[in-house]
Amino acid sequence: QVLSFVIPTQLQRVTHRALHRLFHTRSCLFVALHIALQAAVYGEYTWEVFVYCWEMQFHLLLLLLPYLLLAGNVGCFILCSRADPGVITKSNHSSLVKIYAYDGVLFQKGTVCPVCDMEKPARSKHCSFCGLCVHRFDHHCVWVNNCIGASNAKYFFLYLFSLTAMAAAIATITAALLIQVVLLSNMMQGSYIDEQGQEHAIDILFVIQHLFLTFPRIVFMLGFVILLTLVLGSYCCFNLYLAFTNQTANEWYKSRRYGYSHHLTLQPRDRLVYKHIYSKGIWRNLKEIFKPPTALERKKK
């Protein structure tokens, strides 16, 4: 009985340590997974979809669009993963601390990072993955194995939108191929006989089943890229909302603890209400993503 208790406990500790190393340290595992998924999708697209579409005389530029998007996405991926996200060091701390004002709620003046032993500039955060403080910290992205901060946010936006466009382009071309196959075969005009010997007109469900049996890998890939497009599209919309309002993902998450008001006040029951003070209007907010402000620019204003 003692042994049966000790073994699960040890397994839990080993599992916990493994998960801690995986999710709380920088790791290339998700980068490898990301590359493997892209390779699988593009392999199937090139091996079957491209060939069938070429035989059906699809426009060449349309067929090459996913490859053009892939080239742009790879470039953004490399820039996003290799670029300095805005690491705060002893040499640049004095200038970075002047860029943003402290809001007194999410970011308090005088807060010192216990690891880096420096006062945290407003909108910064210490990343437990990288072990560094990052200026205008958004989040740590495991898919690019790097923090997203002031200096590489523009690359992350381009990476994310090009990745969504890739999935949408492959989904659209693959769906167009399958629709063309159905139209050319006049399948929708036919009928089938079920197990009871009754005749039925062909419906959408029958067509999907027929296509899955005829082109299993293509249909499976289509379902995957459609799901991926929906997930990435939703995440793109969320990031657009953050960009339009000049919020980071870190600030949005932390601000959920508070209500919203036009003023920073103490509500009944001593509940602190948070107001985001960094928004400057949609266009200036977007500009800040692609051209982060400097201490000199803030001084001029």
Domain boundaries, the chain: 15-84+153-188+201-299
pLDDT tens across 60-109, in order? 999 999 999 999 999 999 999 999 999 999 999 999 999 999 988 889 99
pLDDT tens across 106-165, in order? 899 999 999 999 999 999 999 988 899 999 999 999 999 999 999 999 999 999 999 999
Give the mean model confidence (pLDDT) for residues 171-177.
96
Residue 108 has which token pair?
């308090």
CA–CA separation, 285 and 16 (whole Å): 41
What amino acid positions are annotated as catalytic residues? 141
**β-strands 266-267, 271-274 pairing:** antiparallel
Q: How would DSSP label each residue in 87-130?
A: B--TTTHHHHTTTS---SSSS-TT-EETTTTEEPPTT-EEETTT
Question: Angle 262-268-273 (CA atoms, 0-180°, nearest 5)?
Answer: 30
- Tell me the pLDDT band of 210, cut-offs 50, 70 and 90: confident
- The pLDDT value recorded for residue 188 is 67
CA–CA separation, 50 and 56 (whole Å): 10
Q: Cα-atom radius of gyration of the chain, to the nearest Å? A: 26
pTM: predicted TM-score of the whole model, two decimal places: 0.82
The secondary structure element, H or E, covering residue 165 is: helix 153-185
Rounded alpha-carbon distances, angstroms, from residue 273 to 224, 266, 281: 42, 6, 22
Identify whether the C-beta of residue 131 lies closer than 8 Å to the C-beta of residue 24. no
**β-strands 191-193, 199-201 pairing:** antiparallel
Mean pLDDT for all residues in the chain: 85
- The pLDDT value recorded for residue 192 is 65
pLDDT tens across 216-231, in order? 999 999 999 999 999 9
